[in-house]
Amino acid sequence: MCSLSEDAIQRAVFEHLAVRGVPRLFAFHPANGGYRLRVEAARLKGLGVRPGVPDLIAIHRGQVYAVELKSEGGRATDTQLQGDRGHPRRGRSRSNLPRPRSRARRA
């Protein structure tokens, strides 16, 4: 069986989201990777670009999801693992996230 590249997996995820048409979903890929000249890398770092940011960020109904995509046999880099430590809910799957309370219950 042929293993898909991370690029192919990412394209498939975004195509799936587009076809599915999830209402009120905002999903994007932060373009942090790739080769940069030192001057450009320094400029972007000054603008807040951080290493280790996940491949896909999705915001849906007030919840933020960060997904690091890997091909079969792929492993997270040390930078990606370090970046994950800054996320308050790291390591939790969607099913483990607390459900938001309705406004009616808060009143």
- Identify the band that residue 34 occupies on the pLDDT scale cut at 50, 70 and 90: confident
Q: What is the pTM of this model?
A: 0.68
* Residues 63-86 pLDDT 10s: 999 888 888 888 888 887 776 555
* Residues 51-65 pLDDT 10s: 888 889 999 999 999
3-class DSSP string for the chain:
CCCCCHHHHHHHHHHHHHHHCCCCEEEECCCCCCCCCHHHHHHHHHCCCCCCCCCEEEEECCEEEEECCCCCCCCCCHHHHHHHCCCCCCCCCHHHCCCCCCHHHHC
